[in-house]
Amino acid sequence: MKNSRLKLLSSPYIVWAVIFIIVPLGMVFYYGLTDKTGAFTLENVMAVMSEEHAKALWISLGLSLLSTAVCFFLAYPLAMILAHMNVNQHSFIVLIFILPMWMNFLLRTLAWQTLLEKTGAINNLLSFFHLPPLNIINTPYAIVLGMVYNFLPFMVLPIYNALVKIDPNVVNAAKDLGANPIQTFFKITLPLSIPGIISGITMVFIPALTTFVISKLLGGSKILLIGNVIEEEFTQAGNWHLGSGLSIVLMIFILINMAASAIFDKDGEGGLL
Partner 1 sequence: MIKTTAKKIYIVLIFIFLYAPIATLMVFSFNKSRTRAKWGGFTFQWYLSLLGNREIMQALWNTLFIALVSSLSAVVIGTVACIAINNMNKRRRAVILGITNIPMLNADIVTGISLMLLFISLGFKFGLGTILLSHITFNIPYVILCVMPRMKQLNPSTYEAALDLGASPVLAFFKVVFPDILPGVLSGFLMAFTMSLDDFIITHFTKGAGVDTLSTKIYTEVKKGIKPEMYALSTIIFVTVLLLLFLVNKAPKEKNERRI
Partner 2 sequence: MNKELINLVDISKAFDGETVLDELNLNIHENEFLTLLGPSGCGKTTTLRILGGFATPDKGSVIFDGKDITNLPPNKRQLNTVFQKYALFSHMNIAENIAFGLKIKNKPKTYIDDKIKYALKLVNLEGFEKRMPDSLSGGQQQRIAIARAIVNEPKVLLLDEPLGALDLKLRQDMQYELIRLKNELGITFIYVTHDQEEALTMSDTIVVMNQGYIQQIGTPETIYNEPENAFVADFIGDSNIIDAIMLEDRLVSILDTRFHCVDTGFGRNQPVDVVIRPEDVELTAPEDGILKGTVTHLIFKGVHYEMEVTANGFEWLVHSTGMFPVGTEVGIKVDPFNIQIMNKPASEDEEAAGIEE
Point out which residues bind partner 2 (CB under 8 A): 167, 169-170, 172-180, 183, 187-188, 191-192, 194
- Mask: binding to partner 1, 134-153, rule CB under 8 A, as x and -? ---------------x--xx
* Phi, psi at 34, each rounded to 5°: -130, 165
∠ CA 77-140-207 to the nearest 5 degrees? 60
Site for partner 1 in 190-219 (CB under 8 A): 202, 206-207, 209-213, 216-217
| Range in contact with partner 1 (rule: CB under 8 A) among 115-123, 126-134, 165-173, 182-190 | 115-123
Q: How far apart are CA 213 and CA 248, in angstroms?
A: 20
What end-to-end distance do the CA atoms of the chain give, in Å? Answer: 26
Nearest to 146 by CA among 117, 118, 120, 111: 111
**Cβ nearer to partner 2, comparing 21 with 170:** 170
Contact partner, 179, from partner 1, partner 2, none, Cβ < 5-8 Å per class: partner 2
Q: Is 125 in the site for partner 1 (CB under 8 A)?
A: no
**Cβ nearer to partner 2, comparing 14 with 190:** 190
Q: How far is the CB of 187 from partner 2 (least distance, A)?
A: 8
Contact partner, 167, from partner 2, partner 1, none, Cβ < 5-8 Å per class: partner 2
State the DSSP H helix or E strand holding residue 120, giving kind and residue range, or none if neither. none
Q: Is 236 in the site for partner 1 (CB under 8 A)?
A: no
Contact partner, 180, from partner 2, partner 1, none, Cβ < 5-8 Å per class: partner 2
User: Using an 8 Å Cβ cutoff, are 143 and 56 in contact?
Assistant: no
Q: How far is the CB of 169 from partner 2 (least distance, A)?
A: 4
Give Cβ neighbours of residue 70 (< 8 Å, ≥ 6 apart): 144, 148
Q: How far is the CB of 162 from partner 2 (least distance, A)?
A: 12
Contact partner, 165, from partner 1, partner 2, none, Cβ < 5-8 Å per class: none
SS3 content of the chain, % helix, strand, coil (to 5): 80, 0, 20
Nearest to 249 by CA among 67, 39, 21, 32: 32
Residue 180: how many CA atoms within 13 Å on its side-chain side? 1
- Mask: binding to partner 1, 158-187, rule CB under 8 A, as x and -? ------------------------------
92 burial via Cβ count (<10 Å: 0-12, 13-18, 19+): exposed
Question: Which one of 46, 55, 114, 172 is in contact with partner 1 (CB under 8 A)?
Answer: 114
Contact partner, 129, from partner 2, partner 1, none, Cβ < 5-8 Å per class: none
Question: Which one of 42, 46, 54, 103 is in contact with partner 1 (CB under 8 A)?
Answer: 103
DSSP labels for 221-265?
A: TTPPPHHHHHHHIIIII--HHHHHHHHHHHHHHHHHHHHHHHHH-
